[in-house]
């Protein structure tokens, strides 16, 4: 239950939040130990504190419990990774790419596919008339909430996007109005690090953030 | 600077994070006092700790400093709100909608338009071949990071989506490859509340979150 009056967050909390943001990683290396059903339920409840356009709450979480479905998803991601590698003209970049681990679908104790119900009537369409894509964006906000809540509990999350949305939608047999947003792996990270894995492995460093800000 | 070794977040922090998530609101009522340049710069730097596909960091923040541009944006949002109201068949819902305040573009001390550079080569396309929309999703993650960092500092953020993306893009004269994601109002909230404004005003309550979770 939240506190009944508006909290003043302390400078210590703000600084610990900055630590959380700095240490949140996209995790692909997991230990196999399970998370526990209570914790999964708690995280999926916290995720739904996210904002959504018109309070439409269009997020739909599908926990992949079947070992066969999980293996099909892992094989599909591997195939898509190989296809992306083959399309890279630069040999050095291609071999760097091939060496990257891009998902932990086989090892993570929890695999969750996340969808957006584009046909939901919740929220009565408020805010989505000019920008229907804000429904999908709302789902992304819930995923980020889940990510931070997980990391605060010592858990890591990996967002896998090297999958074909149509493939996942068909495989998991969800309603036709559900748009695939993300495949998530959740579990205890093997080795936490403050530097993104893609930076450590020489793929792409952080930019100077000030170059991304301009004025009008 | 983040701590050099992986932090263990305390149960107190986790519970304060839950407070932050519960008390984060979409804010449309602002006090006029300014935020301070240092704080704006700090928030825009923290926002860029967000994850992004292939570490592509495609977020582009445009601070709207011109009073004329701000008024044009406010007038445009008002026009779009009126058009959405006119399209509502149900009279009761239409009058409820008309009574809602949907943006604080005129009062907020800071107005920021956020774009996604779909043509960025940063990140070398990793993860975006199968799902190019993950670039826009990365920008949404940065907006949410900004949102939480602002709320932790007692500031409120409002995401305005009742605007036509093409209108904002033309008005702010950004590069052709920039996709409009959000118009943000940032400032001191007039009256913090734990209940979303759309719920307080009888538009749309929260759902029972468990109905959004299924298994396969």
- Domains identified in chain B and CATH numbers: 25-73+103-194 (3.40.109.10)
Q: Does the beta-carbon distance from B24 to A51 stay under 8 Å?
A: yes
The predicted-structure confidence for A20-47, as pLDDT tens digits, reads as follows: 999 999 999 999 899 999 999 999 999 9
CB of A190 within 8 Å of a chain B CB? The answer is no
Cβ-Cβ contacts under 8 Å, A69 against chain B: 216
Q: If you average pLDDT over residues B176-180, what whole number do you get?
A: 97
For helices B134-152 and B37-47, the axis angle rounded to 10 degrees is 140
Q: Which residues of A touch B207 (CB under 8 A)?
A: 48, 57, 122
Q: Are strands B178-187 and B156-160 parallel, antiparallel or unpaired?
A: antiparallel
Residue A185 DSSP code? E
Average pLDDT over residues A112-130: 93
ipTM of predicted complex: 0.96
- The average confidence (pLDDT) of chain A is 95
For testing contact with chain B, the best of A68, A212, A214, A215 (most B CBs within 10 A):
A212
B202 interfacial to chain A (CB closer than 8 Å): no
**Inter-chain residue contact A128 with B161, CB threshold 8 Å:** yes
What value, to the nearest 5°, has the Cα angle with vertex A9 and ends A5 and A15? 165
Annotate A23-73 with three-state secondary structure: HCCECCCECCCCCCHHHHHHHHHHHCCCCCHHHCCCEEEEECCCHHHHHHH
pLDDT for residue A4:
83
Per-residue pLDDT, A2: 82
Please indicate if any CB of chain B lies within 8 Å of the CB of A42: no
Q: Residue B2: pLDDT above 90? A: no
- For A48-59, write each residue's pLDDT tens digit: 999 999 999 999
| CB nearest B55 (choices: A57, A154, A203) | A203
Render pLDDT for B24-54 as a digit per residue (tens, 0 to 9).
999 999 998 999 999 999 999 999 999 999 9
Closest residue of chain A to B136, computed from CA coordinates: A137
Residue pLDDT, tens place only, A160-202: 999 999 999 999 999 999 999 999 999 999 988 899 999 998 9
Taking CB atoms and an 8 Å limit, are B23 and A13 in contact across chains?
no
Residue A6 pLDDT: 87
pLDDT on residue A150: 97
CA distance linking residue A133 with residue A189, whole number of Å: 32
**What is the structure's pLDDT at A5?**
86
pLDDT value of residue A32: 86
Confidence of residue B151 (pLDDT cuts 50, 70, 90): very high
């Amino acid at each position: 239950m939240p506190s009944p009056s508006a909290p003043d967050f302390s400078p210590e909390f703000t600084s610990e939040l900055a630590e959380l943001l700095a240490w949140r990683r996209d995790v692909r290396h997991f230990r196999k130990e399970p998370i526990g059903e209570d914790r999964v339920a708690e995280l999926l409840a916290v995720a739904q504190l996210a904002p959504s356009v018109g309070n439409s709450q269009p997020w739909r979480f599908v926990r992949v419990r079947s070992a066969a479905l999980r293996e099909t998803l892992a094989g599909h991601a591997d195939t898509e990774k190989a296809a992306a590698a083959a399309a890279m003209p630069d040999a050095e970049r291609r071999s760097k790419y091939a060496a990257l681990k891009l998902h932990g679908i086989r090892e993570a104790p929890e695999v969750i596919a996340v969808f957006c119900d584009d046909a939901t009537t919740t929220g009565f369409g408020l805010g989505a008339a000019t920008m229907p894509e804000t429904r999908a964006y709302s789902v992304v906000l819930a995923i980020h909430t889940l990510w931070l809540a997980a990391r605060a509990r010592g858990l890591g999350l990996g967002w896998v996007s090297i999958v074909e949305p149509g493939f996942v939608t068909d495989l998991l047999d969800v309603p036709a109005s559900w748009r695939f947003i993300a495949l998530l792996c959740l579990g205890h990270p093997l080795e936490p690090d403050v530097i993104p894995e893609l930076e450590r492995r020489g793929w792409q460093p952080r930019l100077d953030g000030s170059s991304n800000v301009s004025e009008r």
